[in-house]
Amino acid sequence: MGEGSTVTSRELAELAIAAGCARVGVCDVEPFDSVRSSLDERRSAGLSGGLGFTFADPATATDVRRSFPWANRLVVAGMAYLPGAGSPGEGAVSARVARFAVDDAYVPLRSTLELIVGRLESDGYRGVVLVDDARLVDRAAAVRAGLGWWGKNTMVLAPGQGPWMLFGSVVTDAMLEVSPAMERGCGACDACLPACPTGALIAPGMLDARRCLAAVLQAPGIIPAHLRAAVGDRLYGCDDCLDACPPGFRLLESSFRPRGRHQLDRLLSAPDEELAAAFGHFYLARAQVEMVRRNALVVAGNVGGADLVPEVVGYLGHPDPVLRAHAVWTARRIGPDWIEALLSSLGQVETDQRVLDEITPVDQSPAEGNRAGNSRRPSGGSRRRPVTT
């Protein structure tokens, strides 16, 4: 520590707020034991689905000192991505992106936290930025640092911002003054629960990631057939439980700039380089471009028409069997009568079982159909970043 050190929690908060953060606080680094128990229980029950991130190693994600033995405090910042991310509104034959992913909203947050690290280091302290990092359950840190409270939709909610914030932290050895926790909660409000289009919010604060569309759209492989209609026009993410949250209404109402819409014909026909440049910040598996195309095919099956048939039929011969499989589903929904004859002929030469299963699908059970919703078109409801804890 430098001689005559003067850095304080208040100074760091003022620095971050001046740089654009909505809320800043400081908390200790004691293990988040209750959060670890929740992660373990949800993983054991299968509710984590295929999500990794903090579910992959809950012990590390809930105990900062496992990664940073010298840690004494976390400086936690929340940056709102509304109104800048705007609203997708309605759009014919197009796909929408959840507001948090319209831009890479983590870039300005990370830059702000680097300013905090610089200030700490100028006084001789250590500081490391943790943003979208599996070594820390960022929402648990935000709640402990007084930035907000756990909402029934599993988000951290804050006065004035509601759920429209991303969180990041600086782990430091400075013994900063900690912030008081926020003594608030959702009370009787449960507007988010029925807003979920697939019933993924199975209880207040409890999410079944296997049904969460935000998680489904970033998971590799085949999108389950019983969830595809519920995808509607979502290319990435889902905002429905956020849109329904009253503490966020003020920011939502000010977010009238039209953003986040992409024309389906371009999504299906664009070269890989164009899609990678436009959506490289999406949190997707290594086959990133293919997953964007996969999601676009599902959207096309929900909102597209005959004008997209040439693009969709082109995917029936794609080298990627996952794309061929989804193209079968989409072609059957939007194509003319001759599509069935084409699919039948393709079935004679197809070698991938996943594609064959789409060409000759097993009847879907009524329970699955009802859970997913049966409309071919989006309901017109509102529209999330994947819930990772």
pLDDT of residue 5: 59
Instruction: Report pLDDT digits (tens) over 287-325.
Output: 789 999 999 999 999 999 999 999 999 999 999 999 999
Helix (H) or strand (E) holding 312: helix 309-315
Q: Tell me: pLDDT of 369 over 70.
A: no
- pLDDT digits 0-9 by tens, 95-153: 999 999 999 999 999 999 999 999 999 999 999 999 989 899 999 999 999 999 999 99
How large is the average pLDDT for residues 351-365? 82
Main-chain dihedrals φ then ψ at residue 162, nearest 5 degrees? 60, -135
Residue-level pLDDT at 6: 85
| Residue whose pair of structure tokens reads 């699919």 in the numeric block | 343
Mean pLDDT comparison of 272-281, 286-295, 339-348, highest-scoring range: 339-348
Which domains, ranges and CATH numbers included, belong to the chain? 9-172 (3.40.109), 198-237+260-372 (no CATH)
Angle between helix 339-347 and 321-334 (nearest 10): 150
Roughly what angle, to the nearest 10 degrees, separates helices 272-279 and 288-303?
A: 90
| Measured distance CA(285)–CA(294) in Å, rounded | 12
Bridge partners for 79 per DSSP? 166
Q: pLDDT, tens digit, for every residue of 177-208? A: 999 999 899 999 999 999 999 999 999 999 99
What token pair was written down for 318? 């794609």
Q: What is the pLDDT of residues 207-262, one digit of tens each?
A: 999 999 999 999 899 999 999 999 999 999 999 999 999 999 999 999 989 999 99
Question: How many C-beta atoms lie closer than 10 Å to residue 334's C-beta?
Answer: 20
Contact 124, 1 (CB under 8 A): yes
Q: What would the two tokens of residue 157 be? A: 């909610």
pLDDT (average), residues 21-29: 98
Residue 170 has pLDDT above 50, yes or no: yes
Q: How far apart are the first and last CA of the chain?
A: 35
Compute the distance between CA of residue 111 and CA of residue 109 in angstroms, rounded to an integer: 5
Q: Are 108 and 122 in contact (CB under 8 A)?
A: no
Q: What is the pLDDT of residue 286?
A: 62
> Tell me, what's the pLDDT at 74?
98
Task: Catalogue the E-assigned strands of the chain.
Answer: 23-28, 73-80, 94-97, 127-131, 149-150, 156-157, 165-172, 201-203, 206-207, 234-236, 261-263
Mention every residue, 6+ apart, whose C-beta is less than 8 A from residue 242: 99, 153, 155, 162, 163, 164, 192, 248, 384
Q: Specify the pLDDT at position 386.
A: 45
Residue from 132, 133, 265, 357 carrying the catalytic annotation: 132
pTM of the model: 0.87
Q: Work out the burial of residue 370: count CB atoms within 10 Å of its CB; fewer than 13 is exposed, 13-18 middle, 19 or more buried.
A: exposed
Active site residue 132: yes
pLDDT band at residue 376 under the 50/70/90 scheme: very low
pLDDT of residue 56: 66
DSSP letters for 15-39: HHHHTT-SEEEEEE----HHHHHHH
How far is 328 from 56, CA to CA, in rounded Å? Answer: 34
Share of the chain above pLDDT 90, in %: 79
